[in-house]
Structure 1
Amino acid sequence: MKKTLVSALTTALVVGAASTTFAAANPFSDVPADHWAYDAVTQLAADGVIEGYGDTTFRGQQNITRYEMAQMIAKAMARTDVSASDKALIDKLAAEFSDELNNLGVRVSNLERNADNVKWNGQARYRYWSQRYEQKDGSTKKQNNDQLNFRLEPSAEVNQNWHVNARIDALTDPSKDTDATVKLARVWAQGDYKNFQVKLGKLPFFSTETAGMLFDDQFSGAQVTFGKNLKATLEAGRWNLNSANKQSNLNHATSLGDNAANYQGIALNGTAGKFYGGAAYRHFQSDCFKHVNEVEESYKGYKANTDEANIWSVGAGYTFDKNWNLYGAYAKNEKADRFGTAHNIQLNYKGAQKANKGSWGAYTAYRYMGGNVAFAPTYETFISNGVNNVKGWEVGTEYVPFTNVTAAAYYFNGKQLANDRDAELLFGRVNFWF
């Protein structure tokens, strides 16, 4: 079926406009005001049913394809301000061009689906640390720090098995009122198959077997996980040592050697009823590890004979009921002569669920955090300008005052491993989730 564009529009898609005077600027240079189809064409252009060509022409004598006609019908179908007779005419045209409209509908649906496949999550949060270290002369060194963080975490579907994920962080110190530091912290492709998962890129680095006692960061490389109730994870790549806790001995050493370490690791994690646990072995190699035995007071001039860190770790937990959970973990760096072990035992009660207003949780824990093995722990009392290379008790609570708003307070009190002097820290946080 071939019709001229003017004929098709005026006989089929005018939608009541032909009898209406349209006092608007002429949209097309080749449709003068005295043209018999002027009112219909200008009205349809104003309604978005027709667009013409990029050179301001309408080309009304040019033949159109069935697909072009279907595009115009689809736009007319989207209109709601039509009379009953015009609606009947549009329905008849839709029936005649059903195949083309179905194809067009598939294309539109796919475009909408692809747009919907990009999911955005994020948070805005404020964190505050107030730490106290006892000095050699018995005085107390005090340091307070706070931080504003805005985070976006997009996830885009590539196909039914693959996604691309990212994390964008913006950090600023509100006490200094400086511009935020914005960085692409993570970006990785993830393939999910039955009992098998692969990640490639700059991806999350989490010591699952110790519930994050050793690492909660990111590394660049590859990760493969397979299994069901018992899962094996293989990892290899490079880890940026500048991510280490600022109070850890590794962080002091980064100025003395390569700031990135070659990394390989293997971990096993599984569940059996109310029991869960795992074990892992991780190997790192960097010049920085020649200095991990050093402490702040004596690292100058110290030399070691190894550039490696070999860390093995185990952890296990038991869920008593929906409210109570007990977990413990142990880790050792075989290459560290001092401060090379870490262990933690933690009892949890309930838990704050950000979507559930009024929910809350609390915990108490004993932590022994050797600075030459617990390099980047998940505990917020030990990250950023928190404490590390310490042992002691920690308590904390978290509450949801409003939906998707959480508030938390943690307190640590213990001793420094290097000299047995007091170490104390108070931490607070407010999160807005979206």
Structure 2
Amino acid sequence: MKKTLSAALTTALVIGAASTTFAAANPFADVPADHWAYDAVSQLAADGVIEGYGDSTFKGNRNITRYEMAQMVAKAMAKNTNGADKALVDKLAAEFGEELNNLGVRVANLERNADKVKWNGEARYRYWDYRDKQADGKTARTDKATMQFRLLPTAEINENWKVKARFTATSNAKNDTAGNAEMTFVYADGVYDNVEIKVGKMPFFSANDDGLVMDNFFSGAQLTAGKDVKVILEAGRWDIAGQGNSFINAADVKDHAGYQGIQVNYEKDKIFAGVGYRHFNSTVFKTVNYSKSGNDEDANIWSVGGKYTFNNIWALGGAYAQNTKADSYNKSASVQLDYKKANKVNAGSWGAFLGYRHVGANVSLAPTFDTTRAAANVKGWDLGATYIPFKNTLVTLGYFNGKQLNNDRKTQTMYARLSYFF
């Protein structure tokens, strides 16, 4: 098997990019500064992943042998990559195992001695400023600020199963009072070809509608099957009373809802489309703000969504959801135009979005939007931007301007976030 260096460059970049930033100078005479691969070649040369030839050339258009590719893999293995990079290196090591053994790389020993627990994390500061017009014409202002420290370990059980968790410590940054520390989720994650099984307390995200209905956590089981078309089955319980949604939250009721759901999502090339159904059951719903009788304990929520990515700059998506059991505030919709993206490993990258939201509290039970609140029952325009000033540092600013659904009075939200990833 032979490959051209230009084709192999992407692979080599992935396994070499975990080490340092781009080199200041490129040692190869045949790779000018305006070449598409200049930065990547410079970095890989500085990291020692590629060496070029004795005449100071790179010869990027020639075919390389398996032995030459194995040399690059061996150098990448020595760099102690982790996460997705390690998974790619492991696959390459299996493909070039014979050549690596000939090079003196003891693959089996490296795998046996590899660290079985990987740690990632985030330190974040978030601020919200809510301004709601009142019946007397005055504006009521409330604000809150939180600081969080998150640790996300991933422990390898065997070649198919891992345990994933998140520990979160939160404090009130507005008055510097101590908050709580908890295990936000912990679940076992098994992957067999195109089938994934999760059991435990896990992230709860309505992927088919891009978080219009749900972005939270639930305890139970999830089964995902398929490649381009994925079927997702979920069942368990959800901490509904802890969400603080004033339109469905009632006192002295059980604090969990029984839950069953299904999603069917299609994603290939530039197109994403999905449909989902979710059923919840809880006495929390027994209120006249939910149903006219005040005795309905069920929520049947249908949602659809889609997104088209025109290129690496523009993308347009939308979603719609409805709760057929609720009598009021039972519809939600979102349309969003995205411009570029902020990549946390690329300093200087940035992105922005403009969206229109209609968030009904009885269908968007825990939506993903930072600038709208389900309890506020709102509709209006949502604008935001993200920026990476330094590698693994994220700055987000957002602004929402709209009206409250229950009284048609003006509401605004200003939002800011600063995150450090490690």
2:153 & 2:242 partners in 1: Cα distance? Answer: 22
TM-score, normalised to structure 2's length? 0.72
Residue pairs, 1:66-85, within 5 angstroms: none
Could you tell me how far apart the structure 1 residues matched to 2:109 and 2:241 are? 47
Shift of 1:110: 6.8
CA 1:158–1:368: 2 relative to 1, 3 Å? same
Instruction: Please show how residues 11-410 of structure 1 align to structure 2 within 5 Å.
Output: 112-113=113-114, 116-244=115-243, 246-250=244-248, 252-253=249-250, 255-291=251-287, 293-294=289-290, 304-382=294-372, 388-410=376-398
Structure 1 position 136, deviation (Å): 1.1
Q: Cα–Cα, structure 1 residues 173 and 399, in superposed 2: closer, same or farther, change >3 Å?
A: same
- Aligned to 1:401, the other structure's residue is in SS state coil
Q: What amino acid is aligned across from residue 257 of structure 2 in structure 1?
A: A
CA pair 135-412 structure 1, distance change in 2 beyond 3 A: same
Length, aligned pairs only: 317
State the distance in 1 between where 2:281 and 2:173 align: 37
% identical equivalent positions: 46
Question: 1:432, CA displacement in angstroms?
Answer: 0.4
Partner letter of residue 132 of structure 1? R
Amino acid at match of 1:362: A
1:242 offset after TM fit, Å? 3.4
d(CA) in 1 for partners of 2:323, 2:166: 30
- Per-residue CA deviations over 1:224-283 (Å, capped at 9, x if unaligned) read 010111000000000001343x35522x32x24221000000100012432211000000
Query: Which amino acid is the alignment partner of residue 312 of structure 1?
Result: W
Query: Are the structure 2 counterparts of residues 387 and 290 from structure 1 closer, same or farther at C-alpha, using a change threshold of 3 Å?
Result: closer
TM-score (norm 1): 0.70
Equivalent residue letter for 2:177:
T
The 4+ residue runs of structure 1 with deviation greater than 4 A are: 105-111
**Structure 1 Cα separation of the partners of residues 301 and 245 of structure 2:** 19
- Pair 108,180 (structure 1): closer, same or farther in 2 beyond 3 Å: farther
In structure 1, list runs of 5 or more residues that go unmatched: 1-104
Larger Rg: 1
Question: Shift of the alpha carbon at 1:305?
Answer: 2.6
SS in 2 for 1:179: coil
Structure 2 unaligned residues grouped into runs of 5+: 1-105
1:416 maps onto 2:404 in alignment: yes
8 Å contact kept, 1:293–1:338: yes
Q: CA-atom RMSD, angstroms?
A: 2.0
- Equivalent residue letter for 1:258: K
Query: Could you tell me how far 1:431 is from its partner in structure 2?
Result: 0.3
Contact 1:217 1:243 in 2 (8 A): no
2:236–2:258: 8 Å Cα contact kept in structure 1?
A: yes
**What SS does structure 1 have at the residue aligned with 2:329?**
coil
